[in-house]
Structure formats: C-alpha cells, structure tokens
Amino acid sequence: MSDFILTNARIVLDDEVITGSVQVKDGRIQSVDQGASSVAGAQDCEGDLLIPGLIELHTDNLERHMEPRPKVDWPHAAAILAHDGELASAGITTVFDAMRVGSIQTGKSRYKEYARKVTTELMDLRSAGALRISHFLHLRAEVCSETLEAEMALFGPEDRVGLVSLMDHTPGQRQFRDISKLKDYVQKKHAMTDDDFVEHVDHLRSLREMHGERHEAAAVAEAKRYGAVLASHDDTTADHVVVSKGYGVQVAEFPTTIEAAQACHDHGIAVMMGAPNLIRGGSHSGNVAAKDLAELGLLDIISSDYVPSALMTSAFLLAEMWDDLPRAIATVTRTPARSVGLTDRGLIAQGLHADLVRVRTLGYTPVIRGVWSHGRQVG
C-alpha cells in the first residue's frame, strides 16, 4: 500500500464523468478533484477512464481452476491463487467466491462435498496476505441434494459468508424447464446413455420431494445465522418471486423470464444477469436474454458467471446500449456492492477503499491499464 495520485483521468462518478485527479492515502480515497493538472509525482492517466474496482457476486471461476479437466483435482492453494490473479487482471477487486453446498452421494451424477475444506484454505491464504483482492463467500445452497444441512452447519459468521443463494436444479422447472437442454448438458458432461439420463432425472426429482422444503428452510435460517444476504436463483414465475420475497431475498440471480424479472422489480428485488448472456445475445439454456431485460429497464447487476473478463466487457456494452456510462458502470460496482451491504466500496468517493481501475477503450473494447485494490496496485 502506498500514497499516490492519479491525474488527468476521466473519472466515472455516481452520475457523471469528470476530468480530474484522485488522491489516495493509506489505502483510501482522500480526495477527488476536478480539472486538468500537472501534479508533481502524480501518475498521468493520459485521459483514460478511471472507474471503481468491479464487484463480482457470482462466479464459478474458482471451481474451474480446481477442476481444469473432468476428474482432475488441482492443488487448491495453486487454484485459489490463479483464480485471484485472473480476477485482478480483469479489474475485479471484490469477489464473492461461489461454492456449492449440498452434495449427492448416490445415483448417476454424484457430487462430492468440497466447500468447507476450500474455504479454510482460502482464509489461510488471506491471513497470510497472499491474495491480491478482497474475497467473500457465496454459498450456493443446492436444495435438490442429500447433505445440505450438514454442510451448511460447518460454516459460521467468521467465514465471511456474504451471500447465500437458494439453488433448485430439479429437472423440469426453473433453469431446465426444457428437459432437452438438460439432457444435452448432462449427457455431454457425464457421458450418460438415454437410460442413464432417465434414471438421473427420476433420482433428482425424488430428492427434491424428500428434502426440498426442509432444505430451503434450513438455507434461509443458516443465511440469517451467518449474517448473509439471501438470493434466489432462476426464478421463472411471479409466484416464484412471491416465495422469494417471503424468504427475505434481496437479489435475484438469473431470472429466466421477463415475468419473473418484472415481479422482482415490483417487489424491490435486484435483478442479476450473466455477462456471457449479454455478450452472446442470449442464454445458453434458452431462457430470457439479458439484453431484453436491459432494454426494459429490468437489469440491475451483471455477474461474470463463468468468464471473468466478461464483466468489464459487459459494462461497456451496456454503456453503448443505454448511452449512459455511469449507469452501466454501476451494474458492476455500486449496485452489487449495495445489494450485499458493502458501503465502503463501489464508488470513487472520499473515504472509500481505493479500489480503482484505469481503462482505455479501443473502439468498444475496454483495455485495462491498471488495477488497485485497497490502494495497492495488483494489475
């Protein structure tokens, strides 16, 4: 951490873009000053944009580093460090690492428990000062599973669990209303025969019937115990949203229809969509396109999901779509921060953490030229 000044930058504030300087002291923003300058010792940003560090609420990227190929278990410390470095290079300075809780130990598709062990390794690296950016936990509570309650009981407030999402991947509803989409995905991933797939679907449905309601209630109670914000996942109907609201959900991850997204806004629930959906122009599961929600004013937060670099790209795509850069940048900074109760970051303002990204655009493509996390240059 060092004291420094970034000058001659186009600074993206809450609702405007100004040309000026940002002074950083002891890892915090000391001042934001308007006007061109030639401050001695300052870093000249040469007219580049200066935006807040990006806030990532839902990413599967750590799992990808832990299992770079099917059934390859990569050393976890190395995977965590690689994940951390990749996010820093993408301009992400705060991440809620998504880890699944709730395993399936029987049937054709078995999922092992891993979240508690990896969390301990992550926290050890954090304590050792080995990580470049801020890490919180996002526990993805899989209600269609066998071990959810036992796994969630292993966590507590000391684990920095900031978000708990209610995940229900039971075939035939929510993300996989279209069973054929699930079949394509599962058969490619697990090399299942048609008979295997039928058995797989029947097994998941039986698990949901046996444990689903109890698991949902347990996840809601555990989120409260952790002090975490509650999120829904793949809401499809207005009725789903009513249930989410009753649980106290504050963020809706990837609603699958316009009906659900509109209901979320009606109930004061922030809508999150995936950056790959926005960039590709549609959902790989055949659900609602993020761009359609953006055009309807129903999109609040963007998540990189499974492509970290997509977060920055999506923000600039929204800026072009809306013709409003501050509004677009807010979907990856201020709004996700506020939705999970973080008031010390997400804006370039006096007193906040000096989480900053220097960006230059080539056409509509953002090029990152510097990243600072809590005043320390990490990219």
Nearest to 262 by CA among 291, 236, 281: 236
Q: Return the SS3 of 295.
A: helix
Task: Supply the pLDDT for residue 39.
Answer: 73
Residue keyed to tokens 């010390």 = 344
Token digits of residue 261: 């997204």
Nearest to 121 by CA among 74, 163, 69, 60: 74
Q: Measured between alpha carbons, how far is residue 108 from residues 82, 104, 120, 199, 247 in Å?
A: 31, 9, 29, 7, 32
The Cα–Cα gap between 232 and 212 comes to 14
Task: Supply the pLDDT for residue 107.
Answer: 64
Nearest to 83 by CA among 117, 116, 52, 125: 125
Task: Supply the pLDDT for residue 188.
Answer: 61
Task: Supply the pLDDT for residue 40.
Answer: 77
Task: Supply the pLDDT for residue 179.
Answer: 64
> Rounded to a whole number, what is the largest CA-CA distance in the chain?
72
The Cα–Cα gap between 370 and 88 comes to 10
Q: Provide CB contacts within 8 A for 226, sequence distance 6+.
A: 155, 156, 157, 159, 161, 164
Token digits of residue 270: 């922030």
The Cα–Cα gap between 224 and 350 comes to 32
* Residue 57 buriedness (CB in 10 A; 0-12 / 13-18 / 19+): buried
Under a CB-based contact definition with an 8 Å cutoff, are residues 196 and 108 in contact?
A: yes
Under a CB-based contact definition with an 8 Å cutoff, are residues 148 and 101 in contact?
A: yes
Residue keyed to tokens 């039986």 = 206
Asked whether the domain spanning 54-344 has the same topology as the one spanning 1-53+346-379, the reply is no
Nearest to 168 by CA among 207, 197, 224, 222: 207
Q: Provide CB contacts within 8 A for 209, sequence distance 6+.
A: none
Q: Provide CB contacts within 8 A for 116, sequence distance 6+.
A: 151, 154, 155
> Which CATH code, of 3.90.550.10, 2.40.50.100, 3.40.50.2300, 2.30.40.10, is assigned to 1-53+346-379?
2.30.40.10
The Cα–Cα gap between 30 and 18 comes to 17
pLDDT in tens, the chain (379 residues): 579 999 999 999 999 999 999 999 999 999 999 987 777 789 999 999 999 999 999 999 999 999 998 889 999 999 999 999 999 999 999 999 999 998 876 666 667 899 999 999 999 999 999 999 999 999 999 987 888 999 999 999 999 999 999 988 666 556 666 666 665 666 566 666 777 666 666 777 766 776 768 889 999 999 999 999 999 999 999 999 999 999 999 999 999 999 999 999 999 999 999 999 999 998 866 789 999 999 999 999 999 999 999 999 999 999 999 999 999 999 999 999 999 999 999 999 999 999 999 999 998 899 999 999 999 999 9
Domain coordinates in residue numbering, the chain: 1-53+346-379, 54-344
Nearest to 310 by CA among 331, 337, 334, 338: 331
CATH of domain 54-344: 3.20.20.140
Token digits of residue 140: 């993805």
Cα 231 to its chain centre, rounded Å, is 11
The amino acid at 365: T
Under a CB-based contact definition with an 8 Å cutoff, are residues 259 and 239 in contact?
A: no
